[in-house]
Chains A and B, each alone.
Chain A
Amino acid sequence: MSEVVQAPPKEKVKFLWNDKEIEAKPGSNLLKAALDNKIEVAHYCYHPGLSIAGVCRMCMVEQEGVPRPFPACNAVVTEGAKVRNDTAQIKAAVEWTLQLHLVNHPLDCPICDQAGECGLQEYYMKHGVYDSSMIDKKVHKDKVQDIGRNVMLDAERCILCSRCVRFTDEVTVTHEMGIVNRGDHAEITANESLKNYYAQNLVDICPVGALTSKDFRFKQRVWFLDDVETTCIGCETGCSVKVSFNQNDAYRVKPVFDAAVNGYWMCDDGRSIYKHVGRADRLATFMENKSGLFLPAIETEVMGTLKNKAKKFILSTFLTNQEYAQFFEAIKGQKVEVALYRLPQHKLEDGRDFDGLLRRADKNPNIKGAEAAFKKAGFDASDEGLNKLLGNLGNKDAAFIVMPEVVYNEDHLETLVKKVKPAGAKVALTSNESFYFMKDFDYLLPLPTFLEKEGTITNFKGMERKISRARNTWGASDKSVVTYANLMFGE
């Protein structure tokens, strides 16, 4: 046994950055410590979720006692260090390095989607370097390349920060991206079409407009967009995301850093979870099936008809914990059957349930919350429970199916819909009426989407995740499943 008693490691290291005192955990990256403390430090190649490249040379600092300037991204915090990046020498160095970044950059900001959130543009405007002092011909490279998975590559705009290469090497380990050639002929290239399911992150981490989203390209100027932070409902992982809006329309989903769940990333599937939200044919009012044609119906009449039937509810796994709780509260003491429809396991391409990163085969975003709520209220959330409910359906019954919002396997859902056929009234509560089998229902009742309500869901880890309202409710969709339950059983 060692007799040396080690002092407990220090909790915090204190150092000065341009005379401002900063605290950081021992061993923290110096640049990250500064950025986390809201200090602006120009940087392109550094990304907290990737290894250190140290190639853009923008985050240069001086430190008392260190003979030469060095990049902050390749240093760790040291107790008592006096770090500066506001000296004349460093400022000139950064300005010149910026100037050198622009030497072969096309400066085509007016037609670039990155404009407004481009690291290069941001700094050159700040430093007043609006054009390079180079009058010689620029090196030309391939400008419009579709590299697959919704990603477009413009090699001329690339500043060779290598983030995308490190991402496919280190995060997805799929090795599609590389930098070929030397010197100023060096060029980002995709060896083959992208094959990873996280490709949109490349667009996020590209500090310039070299990698853009084919989906988002030319759709919106980013300065018109507002973000709301919420949780992805694409699977049970529950990644923290932000959805960008212009007025009432959503345009894209990006990950929000969350150490406990998704780190800096999200999968490509999650990028399209908002697509049903802004559909022009979103259900706005109650609808009734009149010989295969859905026509607007009067709410009280519909409710009147349904009230007389025996009520059977099939809930989805897309409701918030609050909705489950309030729903069960609303039906307390009533004669009602409730079951849960869970989306089938959607195996990943290689047959796995989990890819080791974020994607999971269980596409039920709040399965944990639903199960807990059913248990608490004394209902059976299992498939047997569902089958039992389905097996007893008859003419006197009204079957209410709360439709899942994001469906990977419509056929499976259709099977469910077919099974409620014996019911006297078949009612879909839905925020998404794009399914081809909607004609099998007698009534359609609008629901809010996940972007139109507040609450929480419980992810695979049992963590409560926030669902935030981003958008005004659509038509009648301010009525939730709880509202309908109250209408059905209330006074």
Chain B
Amino acid sequence: MSIKADYENYTLLSYHHIPDVHRIDIFEAAGGYEMMKKWVGTDPDKIKEEVKNSGLRGRGGAGFPTGVKWGFFSKDRNAKKYLLCNADESEPGTFKDRYLVEVCPHILIEGMVISAWALGTQRGYIYIRGEYYHQAQVLEKAIKEAYAKGYLGKNILGSGLDFDLAVHRGAGAYICGEETGMISSLEGKKGQPKLKPPFPAIKGYRGLPTMVNNVESLAAVPWILRKGATAYKAWGTEKSPGMKLFSISGDVNKPGVIEVPLSIPLIDIIEKHCGGMKDGKKLKAVIPGGSSAPVLTAEEVMTTKMDYEDVAAKGSMLGSGAIIILDETRDMGAVLKWTLEFYHHESCGQCTPCREGTGWLEKILKRGEAGHGKPEDIKLLDTVAANMRGRTICALADAAAMPTQGMVKKFRKELEDYIVRG
């Protein structure tokens, strides 16, 4: 007896309750690859239309509508083009893609084959961060199974689609999660982001049109085609439709990955899905979208809905959906220091404002920690951060500056204590 997928309550985790669903036979018995069989070979524009109508927003962090991004892509089906799946997932706090692919790799492959057909790409790569060694192996194995079944390779299911797929392992660099950094890395170079324009959809990997989508975005495609854009949009808000994976960590009883409709109240995630605050402690703050998202105070958390627009209205961002819960005992100065240490370590070093600014910010915090802080350091933090924003090739400078400015704004007193306590 095969266990069926739960397409009613989940889009991405619909197979996750099935034991051994990483195996292609079990995945198929549950309903997997049905959408690939149904849609590959049909009118590609219809697939693109459905994805566009679903309102699916890129799940990597920027939230740009996937269907619109696909619309920028070269429509010449004979031109050499690439489909790149971003599984670099290195925004601190994020581990949803890992959970998605290690349990059910085939949902991603199915999504990629359909997307390859829709976009007319002949080769694809899953760029997975180097630390995810076992997950890379799970994917490699799944790809082998798919080749054996004729779901990858030449003339897939007689549709005329040729699509080769391979796993490409990174080697430990946050910046490779930025799509042009990823392209540089795939090209065998340092993972340094490229100047835009040109955008990858026009000139990407090896100078050829390249579509880069997040794991979660590509894996959502089969469900959207199965149930339709309208069903997808029944969840969430008009601007943030559908379901989303959230990675929750920190001071809650049950951290982990959940799939819930967008716009769910943040407090519900904490109380209902994560079993409430750990050890009965009081909530102090939440980082709602990965370490680059400015922090929310406990008060703000009470009214925050987890959709792109509401989190933005609170001065933060939904980002990759990585939620870090901080209780009353947490030292916000230390949290900022850890955050800045990270961005300093990860700045690729290309653009001056980021290269020099990330190091400077960290030094100010560390000097404060060592007892040599000055009262004017808080203002300096804010000014340096402000002058890193919007001035670089990619968003890493902003990713370091935003949480800094957020912390200055919302936990100034605590930061002063941390830096100037002597």
Contact = CB atoms under 8 A, between A and B. Distances in A.
B237 interface: no
B285 to A, nearest CB: 27
Contacts of A179: 190, 349
A273 B390 CA distance: 48
Nearest to B195: A54
Interface in B301-348: 344-348
Contact of A184 (B173, B347, B392): B347
Interface string A365-407: 0000000000000000000000000000000000000000000
A52 B351 CA distance: 13
A487 interface: no
A352 to B, nearest CB: 30
A429 interface: no
A104 B351 contact: no
Interface in B169-191: 173, 190
A35 to B, nearest CB: 19
A71 B392 CA distance: 9
A93 to B, nearest CB: 6
B346 A103 contact: no
Contacts of A68: 390
B360 A103 contact: yes
Interface in A56-77: 56-57, 60, 68-69, 71, 74
B349 A103 contact: no
Contact of B356 (A53, A54, A103, A133): A103
Contacts of B353: 57, 96-97, 100
Given A57-B352, A182-B173, A184-B355, A96 B346 contact: no
Nearest to B367: A136
A65 to B, nearest CB: 15
A181 interface: yes
B348 A182 contact: yes
Given A57-B391, A136-B367, A103 B359 contact: yes
B352 A182 contact: no
B406 interface: no
Contact of B345 (A93, A97, A104, A183): A183
A55 B194 CA distance: 10
A137 interface: yes
Contact of A136 (B351, B364, B391): B364
B63 to A, nearest CB: 17
A93 B349 contact: no
Contacts of A93: 387, 391
Most buried by B among A101, A182, A185: A182
B349 A185 contact: yes
A384 B398 CA distance: 74
Contacts of A160: 349-350, 352, 355
Nearest to A96: B387
A160 B393 CA distance: 15
A66 B363 CA distance: 35
B356 A182 contact: no
B380 interface: yes
B360 A134 contact: yes
Given A55-B393, A100-B352, A136-B364, A184 B195 contact: no
Interface string A83-110: 0000000001100110111011000000
Given A93-B391, A183-B344, A100 B357 contact: yes
A101 B356 CA distance: 7
- The prevalent SS among residues of A at the interface is loop
A68 B173 CA distance: 27
Given A133-B380, A183-B345, A185-B349, A104 B390 contact: no
A183 B348 contact: yes
B349 A159 contact: no
Contact of B391 (A97, A104, A162, A183): A97
Contacts of A57: 351-353, 391-392
A139 interface: yes
A183 B191 CA distance: 12
B358 interface: yes
B352 A55 contact: yes
B294 to A, nearest CB: 20
B197 interface: yes
Given A57-B391, A68-B390, A133-B380, A183 B360 contact: no
Contacts of A261: none
A182 B351 contact: no
Contacts of A96: 353, 387, 391
Contacts of B351: 55-57
A186 interface: yes
Most buried by A among B347, B358, B360, B380: B360
Contact of A54 (B346, B390, B393): B393
B390 A184 contact: no
Given A52-B195, A55-B351, A57-B351, A184 B391 contact: no
A34 B195 CA distance: 20
Given A183-B359, A184-B344, A97 B352 contact: yes
A67 to B, nearest CB: 10
Contacts of B346: 182-183
B176 to A, nearest CB: 12
Interface in A29-60: 52-57, 60
Nearest to A179: B349
Contacts of A99: 387
A237 to B, nearest CB: 32
Given A68-B390, A93-B391, A185-B349, A74 B359 contact: no
Nearest to A182: B349
A100 B360 CA distance: 9
A136 B349 contact: no
Contacts of A184: 344, 347, 349, 355-356, 358-359
Contacts of A100: 352-353, 356-357, 360, 387-388
A136 B390 contact: no
Contacts of B359: 103-104, 139, 183-184
Contacts of B367: 136
A181 B352 CA distance: 15
A136 B351 CA distance: 21
Contacts of A71: 195
A182 B390 contact: no
Contacts of B380: 133
Interface of B: 173, 190, 195, 197, 344-353, 355-360, 363-364, 367, 380, 387-388, 390-393
23 contacts: A52-B195, A53-B350, A54-B195, A54-B393, A55-B351, A57-B353, A69-B391, A71-B195, A96-B391, A97-B353, A101-B352, A103-B359, A103-B360, A104-B356, A136-B363, A139-B359, A160-B349, A160-B355, A179-B190, A179-B349, A182-B349, A183-B349, A184-B355
Given A54-B393, A162-B350, A185-B349, 16 more contacts: A55-B351, A56-B351, A57-B392, A69-B390, A71-B195, A96-B391, A100-B352, A100-B387, A101-B352, A104-B356, A136-B364, A160-B352, A179-B349, A183-B358, A184-B355, A184-B358
